[in-house]
Chain A
Amino acid sequence: MTSENRAGADTDRELIDRWMAGDSRAATLLVSRHSDALARFAVSSGERDEIEELVQDTFVRAFGSLESFRGESSFRTWLFTIERRLMMDRRRSERRQRATVAVEAGDAVTEYNALDALIAGEAESKVRTAVDSLSPTQREVFTLRVEQGLSYKEIAEVAGTTEGAARVHYHSAMRAVKEFLND
């Protein structure tokens, strides 16, 4: 069984070629096509602040080095890889800041989560808690597979691991989620 390629009026590759030939409208189509997925990936990876800025930085980085995009993976997978790196940089920087600056409790993250829980139903909240209880690696692989629909090969590219390892992490995560919900 193989995954089907996403069909569309213009493929990402065609839009990239058009943009590189000077057609700025192609960029609008590419950004519109992938920005929501990038925002969801950021949120599911635990980012709560300045999501739009993160998505924008991802696109700016990507378009600044489009010559290096060889098309071996999908454009979206490549974007996820860039965004993941930016998130890691951001977390490293936050850790450094926390090491020197005292952070008050009850920050925006808590408020965001509370609002989120209000919107979500009880069942949904329980599922979210189950996913949140996964290890960072399991959660990343699980959300990329379930929420973003990436293949194991694509997950391996984004997370910098192997296809086999991604498959193992996914099944471990699925087992853990089921156990959490059955308790």
Chain B
Amino acid sequence: MTECFDPEVRDFLPDLVHGRLGEVDTVTMLAHVEACDSCAAELALLREVRASARLAPAIDAAQIVSALPAPRVAAVPIEAPARRSSTGSMLRVAAAAVVLVLGGLVANDIRSRGDESSITTVAQTQAAPESVSMTEKVTAAEAPKAGAPEASLSLVAGVQDLTDAQIETLLSELNDLETLPSAEPDQAVIPIDVSGE
């Protein structure tokens, strides 16, 4: 028997056995096999090999299906809570710090007035002819005593008016606050003793 030297045709013999060729290719292949003893013999062998394949046990599809994991239904994608940006968090902390310091400032102001029984607003304070400016008052009231560490913060009209030490203290407190859970800060409630005692 002469060996067929068309490797492409021989390559496709298994596809012919499995019916994986298109209509035209199938006709072409069958025509070749009819004229080529070698390919005819190989095709017969392939069919024999396929027919002699070992028996496989019957598979219970229902049992397999019952063991499958439940489909993960594609639900409406739930967006993960957006991570708060460090800038936004800083602003919140800064706002909280402003509230706290404002409260402290007002309390200090009241204390420094001694027996004044009413709370004077910032506007009223500035309007009064005998009163000093808020900046001066705060500076005087909160000037650190000799040897005492600068622990407390005071708020003035703007950040630019803070001393270097105060800015440093504020920044370090902000850094500490950054590690807290990013929940909205509680409303700062500062008891004000209006009697001045």
Contacts and interface: CB of A to CB of B under 8 A. Distances in A.
Interface in A148-179: 149, 151-152, 167, 171, 174, 177-178
Given A22-B71, A28-B62, A31-B61, A4 B21 contact: yes
A3 B21 contact: yes
Interface string A129-161: 001000000000011011101011000000000
Given A3-B15, A36-B59, A44 B21 contact: no
Given A20-B74, A27-B65, A146-B46, A2 B25 contact: yes
Interface string B19-54: 011100100110000000000001001101111111
A153 to B, nearest CB: 12
B54 A44 contact: yes
A24 B61 contact: no
A32 B61 contact: yes
A145 B71 contact: no
A51 B56 contact: yes
Interface stretch (B6-14, B139-147, B181-189): B6-14
Main SS of chain A's interface residues?
helix
Contacts of A51: 56-57, 59
**Chain B interface size, under 10 / 10 to 19 / 20 to 34 / 35 or more:** 35 or more
Contact of B48 (A43, A123, A171): A123
Contacts of B49: 127, 131, 142, 146-147, 177
B196 to A, nearest CB: 71
Given A4-B21, A19-B71, 16 more contacts: A1-B12, A1-B21, A24-B65, A39-B57, A40-B53, A43-B53, A43-B54, A51-B59, A60-B67, A60-B69, A127-B52, A145-B14, A146-B46, A147-B50, A152-B11, A178-B45
Interface of B: 8, 10-12, 14-15, 17-18, 20-22, 25, 28-29, 42, 45-46, 48-57, 59-65, 67-74
